[in-house]
């Protein structure tokens, strides 16, 4: 129960990787706030967390909206008396080759994936700074390190998130707040299930471990970075990719 008496907020915690992170932190003792654009999904994960015996709050939040994220942090602190862990996980893709990519496709991905993390982090660190304690984990991506055809918007957002992570780490290190990123490779969720079978098989052939990752593989890395065992680690990018990129 390494997260006993800790409160963790996970954006996009309704399904996929965010759901797995929420369940992992709850299983290790944390009370959980699920902030998701889709209330049904958030409510479903919340039910699973209740079964683990933890307190849980499910909120409908658009991370791209600063007012939503401000209220989200206020609601979390009001409900549970604190906020110790923030996981910026909400993310979307709008894949298209650059020459055909619309301004809307660029803006929507940057708004959710990058501005969303900015909004949530700015709201949370105000509270964490006062408490002189915080753990922030940003869910970046392998393609933020390597680039990927068809993902100019997504890879730019994830590379931006890595730069953001390092700056937050530097700005808040003296206040007991760490900020790290994980960079998952290809993980078996709705996001990658949307890919054609042929593309998934081609991708798998580039993974030394010869399988896609699971949401739990990512959740384990997040739990470590959010724990006190990682208290001297900040500004780090942890690859969780089966050896696909080293």
Binding site for ligand NAD (CB under 6 A): 11-12, 14-18, 36-38, 41, 61-64, 89-92, 112, 116, 139, 141, 184, 186-187, 189-192
Smallest distance, ligand NAD to C-beta of residue 49, A? 15
In angstroms, how far apart are the furthest CA atoms of the chain? Answer: 51
Q: Which is nearer to ligand NAD, 119 or 234 (CB)?
A: 119
> Whose Cβ is closer to ligand NAD: residue 133's or residue 157's?
157
Tokens representing residue 205 in the block: 């052939």
Q: Which is nearer to ligand NAD, 83 or 187 (CB)?
A: 187
Q: Which of 154, 164, 172, 186 is catalytic?
A: 154
Q: Which is nearer to ligand NAD, 30 or 117 (CB)?
A: 117
**Strand order in 177-184's β-sheet?**
56-60, 31-36, 7-11, 85-88, 134-139, 177-184, 237-240
What percentage of the chain's residues is helix, strand, coil (to nearest 5)?
Answer: 50, 15, 30
Minimum Å gap between C-beta 146 and ligand NAD is 11
Specify the residue, 66 or 129, whose C-beta has the smaller distance to ligand NAD.
Answer: 66
Pick from 128, 146, 132: nearest CA to 237: 146
Query: Torsion angle, CA of 126/224/117/85, rounded to 10 degrees?
Result: -30
| Least Cβ distance, residue 196 to ligand NAD (angstroms) | 15
- Is the torsion defined by CA of 243, 223, 35, 67 positive or negative? negative
Describe the crossing of helices 152-172 and 116-131 by its angle, rounded to 10 degrees: 10
Shortest distance in whole angstroms from residue 132 CB to ligand NAD: 28
Question: Among this protein's residues, is 232 annotated catalytic?
Answer: no
165-177: b or e for each residue (b if 16 or more CB lie within 10 Å)? bbebbeebeeeeb
Please report how close the Cβ of residue 225 comes to ligand NAD at its closest, in angstroms: 14
Rg of the Cα atoms in the chain? 17
Residues tagged active-site: 154
């Amino acid at each position: 129960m390494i997260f006993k008496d800790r409160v963790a907020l996970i954006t996009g915690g309704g399904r996929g990787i965010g759901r797995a992170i929420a369940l992992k932190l709850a299983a290790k003792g944390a009370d959980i706030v699920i902030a998701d654009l889709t209330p049904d999904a958030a409510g479903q994960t919340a039910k699973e967390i209740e079964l683990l015996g933890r307190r849980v709050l499910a909120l409908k939040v658009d991370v791209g909206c600063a007012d939503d994220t401000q209220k989200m942090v206020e609601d979390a602190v009001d409900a549970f008396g604190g906020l110790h862990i923030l996981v910026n996980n909400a993310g979307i893709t709008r894949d298209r080759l650059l020459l055909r990519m619309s301004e809307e496709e660029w803006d929507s991905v940057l708004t959710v994936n990058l501005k969303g993390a900015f909004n949530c982090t700015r709201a949370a660190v105000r509270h964490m700074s006062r408490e002189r304690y915080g753990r922030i984990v940003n869910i970046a991506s392998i393609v933020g390190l390597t680039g990927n055809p068809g993902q100019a918007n997504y890879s730019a957002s994830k590379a931006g998130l890595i730069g953001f992570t390092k700056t937050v780490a530097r700005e808040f290190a003296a206040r007991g707040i760490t900020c790290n990123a994980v960079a998952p490779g290809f993980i078996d969720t709705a996001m990658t299930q949307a890919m054609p079978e042929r593309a998934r098989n081609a991708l798998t052939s580039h993974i030394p471990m010869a399988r896609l990752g699971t949401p739990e593989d990512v959740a384990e890395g997040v739990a470590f970075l959010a724990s006190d065992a990682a208290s001297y680690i900040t500004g780090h990018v942890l690859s969780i990719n089966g050896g696909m990129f080293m």
